Amino acid sequence: MPSREKLVVIGGVAAGMSAASSAKRAKPEMKVVVLERDLHISYGACSLPYYISDDVKDFHDLIVLTPQAAEKERGIKVLTRHEALSIDKESKQILVKDLNGNKEVEISYDKLVLATGGLPVVPPSQGSI
């Protein structure tokens, strides 16, 4: 029996989980794995100001999906506390560090999505910090 196509998504917040969910809906037979360095997935950074301002009292209220629900309800395997260290595009292998066990493993993929977000850039200008 041929192996199933495998998608790996690096980044499990809003964009990464959206990509993983969309892929699973389009190809239910596809194996989908999400790597997330943090403990939590599926929240939007846009909603963090509501938590900081105390409009939302519990940050768990900002989380749309847990790793357990992603697997049970959507068939998506989520590996939290797993950090992608390097990507070998030729062999389609990702070197991943399990931050809980402090060990490194290689994970293969057929398709790869990078959804790690970005950092703001403040352009140099007079008076900026």
pLDDT digits (tens, 9 = 90+) for 67-95: 888 899 999 999 999 999 999 999 999 99
Q: Which residue has the higher pLDDT, 102 or 54?
A: 102
- 6-114: CATH topology is FAD/NAD(P)-binding domain (3.50.50)
pLDDT computed for residue 43 by the predictor? 66
14 is catalytic: no
Task: From the candidates 2, 3, 26, 46, give the one annotated as an active-site residue.
Answer: 46
Q: What is the pLDDT of residues 18-64, one digit of tens each?
A: 999 999 999 999 999 999 999 878 766 667 777 778 887 776 677 67
- Name residues whose C-beta falls within 8 Å of residue 30's C-beta, 6 or more positions apart in sequence: 4, 5, 6, 7, 23, 24
Higher pLDDT, 58 or 109: 109
- Euclidean distance between CA atoms 14 and 109, whole angstroms: 21
Residue 126 in tokens: 């007079």
> Domain ranges in the chain?
6-114
Give 61's contacts (C-beta < 8 A, 6+ positions apart): none
